[in-house]
């Protein structure tokens, strides 16, 4: 019998702490301090437990297999409920725990003026526990149960501010299409069980590759589509926009940083472990195709948005497209780059959503056409936002660039290796998408933080310290993971990528067989990029230039005295259109670009009808296409 | 740690950053290119034109002028943006080899061409943020156009860089070469890339990209003095404006020398042998060959400026922003694409 404090128990404790917190908050949540403490304690505990596993799992390559109630096998089949934690699981679990922790810190001040706060924290912790359970589970059916828990918690939280316009509608859409996804996962699970009589991941992975027949192919398609809805890949992207637009910012962090990652995690487990199918070109094609389409379609959709949070939502999927594409390249460099980007996405997108939440908290709106000039009123938020924006747009030396750069390298190397011109196209799409991302964040900077400050926001104040603190945590992570790519690869994404490439170890570990870690060399990129050295150079150059400038009296400036705004009666026209003044409307800022793409944009506009029936239809069509594709080519 | 050798190395690198090929070199040659461009355009339009040193006079005069921060502006961003943009440009210049001369010869390379592609965005972004921070409507329009220009230029530039990487990789038989010094080394050994059929369209595309990146006529919709009062710079005055003008000049140098490194890298690399051939050795020979290489680079940059910036400026009228975008994504991208396809099939 294992000691209750031994590390094998840590994964289940990490999940239990969150659910326990959820239930305790129901009991004691009336008191403000009690519920904040409980929530913080459970998320901190969960994070600490997972971090303590890093040396064993990441560095030594240990795989922790845990059977609940010590019931493992009967008649050669795994009947017990298993948790199996390899480097891949722990990698995603850490992302989740960090995002949940920061979001919880932020929630304390952000949600203080809402009603029903105890319910908020209960659902919040249920959602967190559900996602954590999903990535740590070693059992397909438990994964489905966790999917159910997290989907319903997420739906409820989307509609948490149900007096807000559109919140209920968003939750309803999410519920409908999310349920289709969950049903797909359930159906896929059942079909696999019918074929190989087990639900344990490791055992499934051992059996399925030998049982590839019509039924398992359909199951594959069902599971793939099911997890895609959780990751909001195209064609499920409109839901994400609605959900993010309505949900509180702290929940958006979870939906984009955590929920979508669980979908990606599911897809990786599915293709690399359960079916071990990444050697097959059609599967590689499917992943890279869906990834690239998501990447490009969603970035163009984001360019057309007028709402801060909806814009972020579309970018979220665009970045997930990068992750899926990189993972689909099925090279060590690609997988490692993809996972690295998944991590960075959680961090920078979390930061951006929190910044959007800060703007909403102070101004009451996220409409890009109405906002402007907040940088004078909210200087800290502006700096934090700019760090996040630079990260997502892939500006060196922030983290988004570090991982995207690896993805470009991986894609182009893959193109050269295979001689396949499709991968070349993917590289180009990835490079251009990054610039389009930059364009839309320049738009946000201009429309929200710079530009002219409208009259109605003259008295806006900076957000409370608690919220700025949470954002700063993410911002620091953005800089650190950007400056130390080698460390991240060595410690986090590298071991996870090795785990992905060695499903045999995972299968053996469930049987209690410890296989040696193959210390395959970490993938090397073709190019060179050392952010620390660059930053050093920039620092010296900037210091020197600033010094010269200051010696030349650069800082002796005069404020523009005549900049005082004259009373409105001196304006020629001051009502009507003039009063809802925006310099260039948010959605139309880059009309020089949009004009050339007008047919594409009007096509997209017609396609995204906002009617849930259409989206449900898309889900069904996607499923049909996936089944047909796999039946024909596999 | 603080041994003499360390101090020497530190001073050497400080010299690289501040004097050559860093700040001072950029300052002098950049403004010189700018002056030559203005004079040449004037001569082509049958004007007398300003003296070649006019940009220097302009810069120093602007530095002595009063700086007015608009009441609506965010002061920190307004003042900091020009400095960051200039520093980023100077650092890029360190990564561009001057034929055989490399700043990072004894160190691992800091940035490859894909990184340089994105580092080039930093000056553009800092101009945009600085302009946006003024709150001026002219800056709003300028920002919109500047970003679309960046978008327009990015696609062909990506294709050019990928096709160069592929061509060099093909020739060396190892797939891909992203390292800029690797590309120049290759050209030193096997002749300049411009001599290859597959690279001619890419070189043409790059020639067309240069005025777009620097925001020169006819691709200067973002500045358009006559309609939007220089857009992003509308509210700038005094020293910060001077620094923007300087950054613009340095960008001309950066892009033309990038062109030299990418396509004409073989021209100046033989100088060392030439110097050795006339019987010189030791430190003096090394210094002489470096000076000669720098002179060749400057000459090539001047020629490229005359061809891509001055000549194009003199004979064209400003494009509207949507025309600019279309031009880059069709004509220039097409040229770059031809190169990429040729490179892909091994020509």
**pLDDT tens-digit series, residues A356-380:** 888 888 888 777 777 777 887 888 8
Q: Does A300 touch chain B (CB under 8 A)?
A: no
**Of B128, B129, B120, which Cα lies nearest the Cα of B76?**
B129
Q: Does B159 touch chain A (CB under 8 A)?
A: yes
Give the pLDDT confidence of A580-614 residue by residue, as tens digits: 444 455 556 777 777 777 888 888 888 888 788 88
**Concatenated DSSP letters for A482-543?**
HH-HHHHIIIIIHHHHHHHH-HHHHHHHHTT--PPP--PPPP--SS-B-HHHHHHHHHHHHH
- Confidence at residue A93, expressed as pLDDT on a 0 to 100 scale: 92
Question: Which of chain A's residues have a Cβ under 8 Å away from the Cβ of B90?
Answer: 541, 545
List Cβ neighbours of A70 (8 Å cut-off, separation of 6 or more): A1, A80
Give the pLDDT confidence of A135-172 residue by residue, as tens digits: 998 888 888 999 988 888 888 888 888 787 788 888 88
Specify the residue for token string 């990072």. B104
C-alpha B346/C-alpha B170 separation (Å) is 7
Q: What is the mean pLDDT of residues A119-125?
A: 89
Give the pLDDT confidence of B195-215 residue by residue, as tens digits: 788 888 888 999 999 998 888
Ranked by mean pLDDT, which of A94-103, B63-72, B309-318 comes out on top? A94-103
Give the pLDDT confidence of B163-194 residue by residue, as tens digits: 888 888 887 777 777 888 888 888 888 878 88
Cβ–Cβ below 8 Å for B70 and A560 = yes
**Angle at Cα A148 formed by Cα A146 and Cα A153, nearest 5°?**
95
Cβ–Cβ below 8 Å for B125 and A442 = yes
List Cβ neighbours of A301 (8 Å cut-off, separation of 6 or more): A237, A241, A314, A604, A608
Domain ranges of chain B: 71-237+252-344
Specify the residue for token string 């060749």. B296
Question: Which of chain B's residues have a Cβ under 8 Å away from the Cβ of A382?
Answer: 74
- Greater pLDDT, A323 or B238: A323
Helices vs strands, H then E, count in chain B: 16, 1
- Confidence at residue A560, expressed as pLDDT on a 0 to 100 scale: 56
Neighbour count for residue B292 (Cβ, 10 Å): 16
**Angle at Cα A622 formed by Cα A619 and Cα A625, nearest 5°?**
150
Is the pLDDT at A257 greater than 80? The verdict is: yes
Q: By mean pLDDT, which of A391-395, A501-505, B18-22, B324-328 is the weakest?
A: B18-22
SS3 B315: helix
**Concatenated DSSP letters for B62-125?**
HHHSPEEE-TTS-HHHHHHHHHHHHHHHHHHHHHS-BTTB-TTTTS--SB-HHHHHHHTHHHHH
Is the pLDDT at B15 greater than 50? The verdict is: yes
Give the rounded percent of residues in chain B with a pLDDT score beyond 90.
Answer: 4
Instruction: Provide the 8-state DSSP code for A464.
Output: P
Q: Phi/psi class of residue A609: alpha, beta or left (left: φ > 0; alpha: ψ in -120 to 50)?
A: alpha
Q: Does B162 touch chain A (CB under 8 A)?
A: yes
Give the rounded percent of residues in chain A with a pLDDT score beyond 70.
Answer: 92
Q: Does B17 touch chain A (CB under 8 A)?
A: yes
Residues A140/A202, Cβ–Cβ less than 8 Å: no
Predicted confidence band at B236 (pLDDT cuts at 50, 70, 90)? confident
Residues A227/A106, Cβ–Cβ less than 8 Å: no
Mutation choice for A interface testing from B20, B22, B133 by most A CBs within 10 A: B133
Considering Cα of A216, then A183, then A255, then A306, what sign does the dihedral take? positive
Mutation choice for B interface testing from A596, A597, A600 by most B CBs within 10 A: A596
Give the H/E segment covering residue B252.
helix B238-263
Give the pLDDT confidence of A503-547 residue by residue, as tens digits: 888 888 877 777 776 666 566 666 677 777 778 788 887 887 778
Domain ranges of chain A: 7-511+523-540+596-633
**pTM metric for this prediction:** 0.89
- Confidence at residue A186, expressed as pLDDT on a 0 to 100 scale: 93
**Concatenated DSSP letters for A297-333?**
HHHHHHHT--BHHHHHHHHHHHHHHHHHHHHHT-SHH
Question: Which of chain A's residues have a Cβ under 8 Å away from the Cβ of B143?
Answer: 442, 446, 589
C-alpha B179/C-alpha B111 separation (Å) is 8
Structure tokens given for A153: 């918690």
Q: What is the mean pLDDT of residues A238-265?
A: 86
C-alpha A377/C-alpha A453 separation (Å) is 9
Cβ–Cβ below 8 Å for A434 and B118 = yes
Residues A34/A45, Cβ–Cβ less than 8 Å: no
Pairing of strands B67-69, A557-559: parallel
- Greater pLDDT, A453 or A337: A337
Closest Cβ–Cβ partner in A421, A537, A558 for B344: A421
Cβ–Cβ below 8 Å for A438 and B125 = yes
Q: What is the mean pLDDT of residues A50-71?
A: 83
Is the pLDDT at B106 greater than 70? The verdict is: no
Q: Does B299 touch chain A (CB under 8 A)?
A: no
Specify the residue for token string 């669980």. A262
Instruction: Provide the 8-state DSSP code for B195.
Output: G
Beta strands in A51-122 (DSSP E): 64-67, 73-74, 77-78, 82-85
- Greater pLDDT, A487 or B281: A487
- Greater pLDDT, B225 or A176: A176
Give the pLDDT confidence of A550-589 residue by residue, as tens digits: 776 666 666 655 455 555 555 554 444 444 444 455 556 7
Cβ–Cβ below 8 Å for B74 and A413 = no
ipTM of the prediction greater than 0.90, yes or no: no
- Greater pLDDT, B46 or A574: B46
Residue of A nearest to B94 (CA): A537
Per-window interface: A 122-151 vs B, CB < 8 A: none
CA terminus-to-terminus distance, chain A: 46
Å between B94 CA and nearest CA of chain A: 9
Q: What is the mean pLDDT of residues A188-211?
A: 85
Å between A450 CA and nearest CA of chain B: 5
Closest Cβ–Cβ partner in B71, B79, B329 for A559: B71
Side-chain half-sphere CA neighbours of B284 within 13 A: 4
Cβ–Cβ below 8 Å for B84 and A542 = yes
Cβ–Cβ below 8 Å for A541 and B132 = no
Is the pLDDT at B148 greater than 70? The verdict is: yes
Neighbour count for residue A363 (Cβ, 10 Å): 19
List Cβ neighbours of B106 (8 Å cut-off, separation of 6 or more): none
Residues A104/A117, Cβ–Cβ less than 8 Å: no
Give the pLDDT confidence of A222-236 residue by residue, as tens digits: 999 999 988 888 788
Å between A98 CA and nearest CA of chain B: 29
Structure tokens given for A118: 């105890």
Average pLDDT score over chain B: 83
Give the pLDDT confidence of B108-143 residue by residue, as tens digits: 677 788 888 888 888 988 888 888 888 777 777 788
């Amino acid at each position: 019998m294992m000691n209750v404090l031994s590390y094998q128990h840590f994964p289940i404790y990490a999940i239990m702490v969150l659910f326990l917190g959820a239930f305790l908050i129901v009991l004691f949540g009336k008191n403000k301090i009690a519920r904040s403490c409980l929530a913080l304690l459970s998320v901190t505990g969960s994070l600490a437990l997972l971090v303590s596993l890093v040396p064993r799992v990441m560095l030594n390559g240990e795989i922790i297999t845990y059977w609940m109630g010590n019931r493992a096998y009967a008649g050669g089949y795994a009947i017990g409920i298993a948790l199996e934690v390899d480097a891949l699981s722990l990698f995603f679990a850490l992302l989740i725990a960090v995002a949940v922790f920061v979001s919880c810190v932020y929630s304390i001040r952000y949600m203080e003026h809402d009603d029903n706060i105890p319910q908020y924290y209960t659902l919040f912790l249920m959602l967190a526990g559900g996602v954590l359970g999903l990535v740590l589970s070693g059992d397909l059916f438990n994964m489905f149960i966790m999917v159910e828990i997290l989907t319903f918690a997420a739906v409820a939280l989307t509609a948490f501010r149900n007096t807000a316009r559109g919140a209920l509608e968003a939750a309803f859409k999410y519920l409908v299409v999310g349920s289709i996804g969950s049903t797909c996962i359930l159906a896929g699970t059942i079909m696999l069980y019918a074929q190989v009589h087990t639900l344990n991941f490791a055992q499934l992975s051992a059996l399925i590759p030998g049982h590839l027949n019509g039924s398992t192919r359909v199951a594959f398609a069902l599971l793939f589509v099911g997890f895609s809805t959780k990751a909001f890949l195209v064609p499920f992207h409109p839901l994400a926009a609605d959900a993010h637009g309505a949900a509180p910012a702290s929940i958006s962090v979870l939906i984009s940083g955590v929920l979508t990652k669980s979908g990606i995690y599911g897809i990786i487990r599915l293709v690399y472990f359960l079916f071990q199918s990444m050697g097959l070109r059609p599967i590689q094609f499917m992943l890279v195709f869906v990834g690239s389409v998501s990447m490009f379609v969603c970035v163009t959709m984001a360019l057309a948005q007028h709402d801060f949070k909806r814009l972020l939502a579309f970018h979220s999927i665009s970045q997930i497209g990068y992750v899926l594409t990189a993972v689909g390249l099925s090279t060590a460099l690609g997988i490692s780059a993809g996972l690295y980007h998944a991590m960075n996405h959680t961090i920078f997108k979390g930061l951006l959503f929190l910044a959007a939440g800060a703007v909403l908290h102070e101004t009451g709106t996220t409409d890009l056409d109405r906002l402007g000039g907040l940088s004078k009123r909210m200087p800290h938020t502006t700096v934090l936002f700019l760090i996040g924006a630079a990260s997502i747009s892939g500006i060196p030396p922030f983290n988004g660039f570090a991982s995207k750069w690896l993805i470009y390298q991986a894609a182009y190397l893959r193109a050269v290796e295979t001689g396949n011109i499709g991968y070349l196209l993917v590289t180009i799409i990835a490079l251009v998408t990054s610039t389009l991302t930059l364009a839309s964040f320049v738009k946000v900077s201009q429309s929200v933080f710079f530009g002219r400050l409208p009259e109605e926001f003259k008295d806006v104040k900076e957000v409370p310290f608690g919220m700025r603190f949470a954002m700063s945590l993410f911002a620091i992570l953005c800089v650190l993971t950007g400056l130390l790519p080698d460390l991240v690869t060595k410690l986090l994404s590298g071991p996870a990528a090795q785990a992905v490439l060695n499903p045999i170890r995972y299968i053996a570990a469930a049987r209690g067989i410890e296989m040696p870690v193959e210390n395959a060399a970490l993938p090397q990129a073709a190019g060179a990029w050392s952010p620390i050295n660059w930053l050093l150079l920039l620092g010296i150059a900037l210091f020197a230039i600033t010094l010269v400038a200051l010696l030349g009296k650069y800082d002796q400036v005069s404020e523009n005295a005549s900049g005082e705004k004259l009373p409105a009666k001196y304006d020629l026209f001051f009502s009507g259109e003039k009063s809802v003044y925006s310099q260039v409307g948010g959605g139309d800022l880059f009309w020089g670009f949009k004009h050339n793409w007008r047919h594409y944009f009007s096509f997209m506009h017609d396609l995204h009808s906002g009617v849930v029936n259409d989206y449900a239809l898309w889900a069904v069509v996607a499923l049909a296409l996936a089944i047909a594709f796999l039946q024909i080519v596999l | 740690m603080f041994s003499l050798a360390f101090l020497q190395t530190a001073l050497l690198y400080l010299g690289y950053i501040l004097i050559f090929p860093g700040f001072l070199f950029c300052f002098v040659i950049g403004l010189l290119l700018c002056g030559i461009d203005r004079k040449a355009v004037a001569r082509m339009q049958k004007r007398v034109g300003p003296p070649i040193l006019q940009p220097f006079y302009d810069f120093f005069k602007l530095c002595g002028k009063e700086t007015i921060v608009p009441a609506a502006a965010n002061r920190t961003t307004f003042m900091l943006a020009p400095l960051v943009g200039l520093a980023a440009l100077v650092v890029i210049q360190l990564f561009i080899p001057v034929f055989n001369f490399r700043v990072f010869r004894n160190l691992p390379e800091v940035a490859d061409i894909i990184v340089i592609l994105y580092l080039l965005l930093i000056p553009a972004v800092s101009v945009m943020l600085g302009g946006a921070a003024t709150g001026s409507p002219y800056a709003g329009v300028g920002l919109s156009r500047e970003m679309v220009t960046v978008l327009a230029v990015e696609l062909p530039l990506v294709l050019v860089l990928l096709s160069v990487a592929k061509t060099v990789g093909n020739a060396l038989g190892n797939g891909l070469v992203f390292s800029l010094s690797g590309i120049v080394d290759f050209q030193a050994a096997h002749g300049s890339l411009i001599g290859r059929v597959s690279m001619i369209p890419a070189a043409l595309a790059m020639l067309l990209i240069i005025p777009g990146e620097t925001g020169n006529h006819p691709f200067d919709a973002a500045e358009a003095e006559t309609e939007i009062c220089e857009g992003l710079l509308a509210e700038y005055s005094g020293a910060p404006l001077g620094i923007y003008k300087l950054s613009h000049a340095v960008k001309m140098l950066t892009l033309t020398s990038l062109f030299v490194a990418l396509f004409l890298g073989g021209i100046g690399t033989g100088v060392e042998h030439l110097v050795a051939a006339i019987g010189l050795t030791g430190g003096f020979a090394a210094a002489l060959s470096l000076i000669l290489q720098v002179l060749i680079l400057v000459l090539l940059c001047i020629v490229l400026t005359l061809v891509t910036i001055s000549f194009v400026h003199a004979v064209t009228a400003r494009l509207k922003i949507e025309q600019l975008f279309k031009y880059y994504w069709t004509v220039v991208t097409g040229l770059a694409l031809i190169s990429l396809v040729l490179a892909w099939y091994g020509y």
